[in-house]
Amino acid sequence: MPTPQKIFVTESKDALRLEYADDKQHQLPAEYLRVFSPSAEVRGHGKGQEVLQFGKRNVVISSVQKAGNYAIQITFSDGHNSGIFAWDYLYELAENYTDYWIAYLGRLHVAGQSRDPDVQVVKLS
């Protein structure tokens, strides 16, 4: 997997921009990174233990720190900071953004949840 040569947090702190040696660039929204955090809080401790993240639309990136030579640790405005984003996982998230995001929105809908923090979805049969 490619290793980013440069990593930037956008001025509004709502996205992370990754630049690679082959001039390839990806910009990943903070909300997307937060709901796909590789932490146990989000992924659980095994298959089927994932915890759907909701109400994260307004989350921004508070800080980014290097974690060895293989990853970064992102601290989000909601206090979440326990996921270590390895280079290969960031690249996977970037390359599969559309599919992953559509699937996430589908899971939110099925669960009756919202991206907005103060919205409660009520299903009427």
90-123 confidence digits (pLDDT tens): 999 999 999 999 999 999 999 999 999 887 666 5
Confidence of residue 66 (pLDDT cuts 50, 70, 90): very high
The reported pLDDT for the residue numbered 120 is 64
3-state SS, residue 62: strand
Where exactly are the structural domains of the chain?
A: 6-111
Sheet hosting strand 71-76, strand order edge to edge: 61-67, 71-76, 84-86
Return the CATH class of domain 6-111: alpha beta
User: What is the predicted pLDDT for the residue at 48?
Assistant: 83
Query: According to the model, what pLDDT value does residue 5 have?
Result: 95
